[in-house]
Structures are given as C-alpha cells and as structure tokens.
C-alpha cells in the first residue's frame, strides 16, 4: 500500500480541522514539514459540536484558528457537507488541505457505485482544495497518531449507521474486504 502524497503541499495552507484523528494526523504531518498552517474548524450546530469546538480551542490555540458556524438547522449528510464547504470556500488566499484518506476513497467508490452505477473517485485536487493523503490507510493514520500520543476527539455520529457513509464504513466495506481482501488498497490514487 502506497503512502505517496497525491497532491503537492504548498508552504502556507489552511487545514480543515475537526479535531478528529484524520485531521490531527494531517496537522502533525504539515507541522513536521514546517508548513505555515491556519486551522479552519466548522461547528455544525449538532448535539456534540460545542464539545468539538471547545476541544479544538483548548488544545490547538497555539495555532491560527478560524471557526465557522452553521446558521441553520442541518438535518442530512448533504446539508452538513454543503454548509462546511460554503464556509471553506471563503478561504481562497491559500490552498485548503482536506484530510481524506484511502479508506474514504474506497467508501466513496462504493457509495457512488451504489447511487449511480459509476464507481467514481475522490480527486486529489479540486479547485482550491487538495487531498494529499488519499493513499494513506486509516489504519496507518490511527497508528501514527496513537504512537505519537497526539490529542484527538472522536465524533460519536461517525458510528451512527443511519447515515449512509457510516453504514458503508462499518458494515458494507468490511464485507467487501472479506469477499475481496485488499479492496481498500486497490483504491489507491495515482
């Protein structure tokens, strides 16, 4: 499984930062690479969003941070995504790093195939957004974060299989991996 970056990372970047393991890994990677990082955190207005924002403010206040907030009641995965990207779209003077990884690519391929019969991929570069970690597996990311004793927070909504993304992550993808070991690794980009 490759860990080759899928996009060139400039010196000055924004990082979409939730405080979760993926974005903490990305932050650590960027800081170890001596990048100038400005964190962008979005508060979705959910039951746990205040806890996440407080976690980010308490543990990462030594870095430049901008927080955005939902101005309405978000009810679906599409609403959450749209509101988050609307916030991130306001930052055009630097590239915005997103911490998507190989497992996200595999999940998206399954989701897009189920939805429209076309197993599309997540682009490494789209407009101002870059996703340099698309070839890093979630297992490797979690291992690196845990071995480095980095602080992160888990979002309990990531375990809620009422959301399609989570149903694919927790139930369908493990089944596909049982039927086709190495499926996730075969989704590498580039």
Domain CATH for 154: 3.40.50.620
Length of the chain, please? 190
d(CA 114, CA 112): 5
* 5 located within any domain: no
Write down the pLDDT at residue 133.
98
Q: What whole-number distance in Å separates Cα of residue 161 and Cα of residue 70?
A: 23
Position 130 in a domain: yes
Q: Which residue has the tokens 């195939």?
A: 113
Q: Assess if residue 134 is contained within a domain.
A: yes
- 65 within some domain: yes
Per-residue pLDDT of the chain (190 residues; tens, 9 = 90+): 557 899 999 999 999 999 999 999 999 999 999 999 999 999 998 888 999 999 999 999 999 999 999 977 778 888 989 999 999 999 999 999 999 999 999 999 999 999 888 888 899 999 999 999 999 999 999 999 999 989 999 988 888 888 888 899 999 999 999 999 999 999 998 7
Q: Is residue 2 part of a domain?
A: no
Token pair for residue 59?
């543990």
Is there a domain that residue 33 lies in? yes
Element (H, E) at 82: helix 77-88
pTM beyond 0.85: the answer is: yes
The pLDDT of residue 2 is 59
**Which candidate, 22, 52, 51, 59, places its Cα nearest to that of 141?**
22
* DSSP letter (8 states) at residue 156: G
Number of domains observed in the structure of the chain: 1
**How far, CA to CA in Å, does 47 sit from each of 109, 159, 169?**
30, 14, 22
**Residue 101: its pLDDT value, please?**
97
The per-residue pLDDT for 66 is: 98
* Within-domain flag for 6: no
pLDDT at 177: 95
Contacts of 119 (CB under 8 A, 6+ apart): 109, 110, 112, 113
Write out the residue range of the structural domain in which residue 171 sits.
12-186
| 4 located within any domain | no
């Amino acid at each position: 499984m490759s860990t080759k970056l899928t996009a060139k990372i400039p010196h000055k970047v924004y990082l979409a930062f939730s405080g979760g393991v993926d974005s903490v890994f990305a932050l650590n990677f960027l800081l170890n690479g001596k990048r100038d990082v400005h964190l962008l955190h979005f508060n979705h207005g959910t039951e746990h969003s205040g806890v996440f924002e407080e976690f980010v403010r308490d543990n990462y206040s030594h870095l430049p941070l901008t927080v955005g907030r939902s101005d309405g009641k978000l009810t679906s995965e599409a609403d959450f995504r749209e509101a988050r990207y609307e916030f991130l779209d306001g930052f055009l003077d630097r590239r915005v790093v997103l911490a998507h990884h190989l497992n996200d690519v595999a999940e998206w391929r399954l989701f897009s195939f189920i939805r429209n019969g076309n197993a599309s991929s997540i682009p490494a570069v789209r407009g101002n957004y870059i996703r340099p970690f698309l070839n890093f597996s979630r297992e490797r990311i979690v291992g690196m974060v845990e071995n480095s004793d980095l602080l992160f927070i888990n979002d309990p909504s990531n375990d809620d299989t009422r959301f399609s993304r989570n149903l694919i992550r927790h139930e369908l993808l493990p089944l596909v991996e049982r039927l086709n070991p190495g499926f996730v690794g075969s989704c590498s980009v580039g």
